[in-house]
Every structure is written in structure tokens, then in C-alpha cells.
Structure 1
Amino acid sequence: MATYKKRGYKPNTKEEQQASVEDNSTTAEVFNTLDEGAGKTEAWVARNQKYIFIIIGIAALIILGYLAYEEFIQEPREAEAANEMFQAQQYFDTALESTAASDSLYNLALTGGQGKYGFEDIIDNYGGTKAGNLARYYAGMAYLHTNQYQNAIDRLDDFKSDDEILAPLAKGGIGDAFMQLGQPEEALVYYEEAAKMRDNNFTTPRFLLKAAITAITLGEGESAEDYLNRIKNEFPDSPEANKVSVYLGQAEAMKQ
């Protein structure tokens, strides 16, 4: 058992002297071990100094290369892609507002006009940019409006976004395409996903209603009722809420 020793204490007995010697020896061994470990580390660093500097240099080059790529290549490409897509977006927006010749406007948006790229050109030439990704959404919607449903599915499926509105609209657009292709089972899956993706007053009731109507088409009255009640209870001020009573009656009648 360890005992407290006053400062200046000197061992008197042989046993105490021996214990003191052993304590000093143990302490010396610990410091010797630490010195040996430090010496080995220094020796390893000295032997491998060349390789360490090479590794550090490579890491620095990678970081500097990435920063240079972002500043001098990616950012200018982003700006260039956005500028090139401006005319295609103009065609698309005009087509949405137009009741006549909208198909030709959507086609111009897709293929380009006035010496400017269309959405497909943007995808091909600037696919890795934000504008290139957004072009997939616009192209998908343009295909949907011109009855090219498989192309719409392909482009909208490639579109990736966390946007509150565009993400569910793209997913719901795929549902619309499947519905037009006569595949309501697949359409219902995408309507359900679109309704779940975000919780807002625009896209959520919109796709809940589409899911309910599709469920009624498939004879799934109970599911349709659940969707419609969600609109009624959670989104009473939405335009879709005005249509709930009609479809709710149909869904309830299917259960009788």
C-alpha cells in the first residue's frame, strides 16, 4: 500500500531503500520507453520524409485543382448554360399561356430556335450543370404537353431536385404520363409519392386529388376516401377542396 512521504524524507531501513531504488528504476524505465518511442517516430519520419511531402503535395494539388475547376470552368459553364437556356424557357412559358400553336412552341423549346439551344441541346451540352438538370424538367413537361409520354417519363425521371414545388411536380408529371398511357396502377404510385414528397398548399392537395380519382378508377374506394378526407381536413382552402364532395360520394358508394 502506498504511503505518504514528507518532502525531504530519506529512507532509513533497507526495505525502504530498496523500494526507493525500485521506484526510481520504474520511473526511469517509463521515460526510457517514451524516449525510445519518440526516437522511433522521428526516425520513421526522417526515413519517409520524401513520401510524406509527396502525399501532402498531392492533397494540396487536388484541393487547388478542385477550387480552380469550380472558379474557372464550372462557374462559367453554369452561366453559359443559363444564358443559352433563356430562349427555350421563353418558348416554354409562351406555350403555357397560349391556346393556339402551343405544340409548335413546345417543340421550339425542345429543339431550339433563333440560333439558340433548345432544352435537349442544353441537356446534351451542359448536362452536368444546374441549368442542364433544370432542362430535364422543362423537357419532360414539354413532352407531356405534346403527348410524347414515354419521353416525358424518361426526362422527368432523370430530373433531380430538392425544390419544394418542382420536385413533386416532376414526380406527379410522371404519374400524368402513365395515366395517359393507360397505366393507372403506375400512375397511382407516382401520385402518392408526389403527395408525400412535400407538405404544402399547392402540390400536396393537387396530387392527393389525382391519387383519389385514380384510386376510384381502380375500384379502391377506401384509399380514395382517405386521400379526399386529407384534402378536406388539412387543405380546406385549396381549390381541390371544392371538388372533394363529388368524389367522396363516389368513393363511399363503392364501399356499399
Structure 2
Amino acid sequence: MATYKKRGYKPKTKVEKQDDLEDGSATAEVFNTLDEGASRTEAWVEKNQKVILGIVGVVAICVLGYLAFDQFIQKPKEAEASNEIFQAQKYYEQALTAEASDSLYVRSLNGGEGKLGMLDIIGEYGSTEAGNMARYYAGVSYLNMNDYPNAIKYLDDFKSDDILMGAVAKGAIGDAFIQLNQKEDALKYYEQAASFNANEFTTPKFLLKAGVLAIDMGNASAAIKHLTALTETYPTSIEATKATAYLGRAEAMK
């Protein structure tokens, strides 16, 4: 056991002298071990310094390359894409409320008045946020024009964490699959839409769609699951009243 020794203390007995010698030997051994480890490390570094410098150089080049790409290419491209999409987005918004909307959707997709359309934006600025939004606009445009395969294609390529748009895009894919009579696929996307950032605006809507479709497919358990989740989690929603009636039908199917 280690004991405290006062400053200036000198061993008096042979035992104490032996202890001091052993302590000094142990300490020297520790320092020798550290020295040997440091020497081996230095030798390894010296032997592999070209490789190490190469790795450091590659990492530095990658970091500097990314920063340069973001600053001098991506950011200007984002700004350019935001300007280019303006007219196509205007056509799209007009089409949503117009009676004869197909021609406006076509202009939104293909461009007009010397401006790019959504498809051009996707082709030239696909990596930008505007290019990503163009996929959503294109998908909804095709859906409203009854071109369901293209609607699915562009909406499935659209990526968003937005609480509403992400869910609406998934639900719109479900609508397109309904029109193609691919009910299993439609149910899958309605379920994805309902669980996408669950909220009181879109979740009740897609839970109801999933429940009604499950009834139509003869899938009572899935219908009960979705309709029950709707009535219990969102009891004050508009959809909850309808869900109650459908829930009775689903339970009668079992």
C-alpha cells in the first residue's frame, strides 16, 4: 500500500530502502514502456507519412471542393432555378381554378411565353429545390390530366419533409393507382400518406381513404384498423363522422 512521505524524508531501514528501490524501478519501467510506445508510433508515422499526407490531402481537397461547388455553382443555380420556375408555377396555379384547365397544365409542363416549363426545370435544375418542387407540380398536373403513370413517376421522385406536401404527394400517388385499378398499391400509399408526419389536417383524410378502400377490397381488419385510428385519434375531425358509419360496415364484414 502506498504511504505518504514527508519532503526530505530518507529511508532508514533496509526494508524502506528496498521499497524505494522497487518504486524507482517500477517508475523507470513505466517511462521506458511509454518511450518504447512513442518510438514505435514515430517509426510508423515516419514509414507511412506519404500515405497519411495523401489521405489528409484528399480530405482537404474534398472539403474545399464541396465548399467551392456549393458557393460558386449550387447557390447560383438555386437562385437561377427559382427565377425560371416562376412562370410555370403561375400557369399551374391558374389551372387549379380554371374550368378549361388542361391547356394551362400543358403550359405549366412544357412552358410558354418564352419561359421554361416544369419538365425543363426538372431537366436543367433537377438538383435544386425548385427542380424538386417542379416534380410535385408536374405530378399533380399529370394527375389532373388523367395521365396516371406520369403522375406516379414525378410524384414518387418528389422528396419533402414538409408536414403537408409530403403527405399530399403520397396520397396523390394513391389516387393515381386507384384510377389504374391497382388497389393494393393505392392502399399502401394511402397508409404512407396517413403516417407521414401525422397531423390533424392530412392524417384523417388519408386514414378515411385507406379505410374505405380496404372495405372495397374486402379487407375488414385493415379497414377497422384505419377507421378506428381515425375516430379515436381525431374524433373532432370532419372525417371522423364519416368514419363511424364506415366502421360499422367494416365490423359487419368480419
Common fold: TM-score over 0.5: yes
Structure 1 counterpart of 2:27: 27
Gap regions ≥5 residues in structure 2: none
- AA of the residue aligned to 2:217: L
The number of residues matched between the two structures is 253
Structure 1 counterpart of 2:127: 128
Structure 1 residue 249: Cα displacement: 4.9
| Segments ≥4 residues shifted beyond 6 Å | 1-4
List aligned pairs for 1:1-256, cutoff 5 A: 7-13=8-14, 17-45=17-45, 52-100=52-100, 102-255=101-254
Asked if the contact 1:11/1:20 (under 8 Å) is kept, the reply is no
Change (3 A) 1:19 1:73: same
Q: SS at 1:162's partner residue? A: coil
Structure 1 residue 51: Cα displacement: 5.2
CA distance in 2, matches of 1:35, 1:222: 71
CA distance in 2, matches of 1:229, 1:21: 81
CA distance in 1, matches of 2:80, 2:31: 65
CA distance in 2, matches of 1:220, 1:48: 65
CA distance in 1, matches of 2:209, 2:221: 15
Structure 1 residue 3: Cα displacement: 6.6
Structure 1 residue 147: Cα displacement: 0.6
Q: SS at 1:61's partner residue? A: helix
Change (3 A) 1:249 1:47: closer
Q: Give TM-score, length-normalised by structure 2.
A: 0.86
- AA of the residue aligned to 1:209: L
Q: Give TM-score, length-normalised by structure 1.
A: 0.85
Q: SS at 1:160's partner residue? A: coil
CA RMSD of aligned residues (A): 2.6
CA distance in 1, matches of 2:34, 2:232: 72
Structure 1 residue 122: Cα displacement: 1.2
CA distance in 2, matches of 1:167, 1:39: 58
Structure 1 residue 143: Cα displacement: 0.8
Gap regions ≥5 residues in structure 1: none
Q: SS at 2:24's partner residue? A: helix
Q: SS at 2:105's partner residue? A: helix
Q: Deviations over 1:40-77 (max 9, x none)?
A: 44455456556544443433232222111111111111
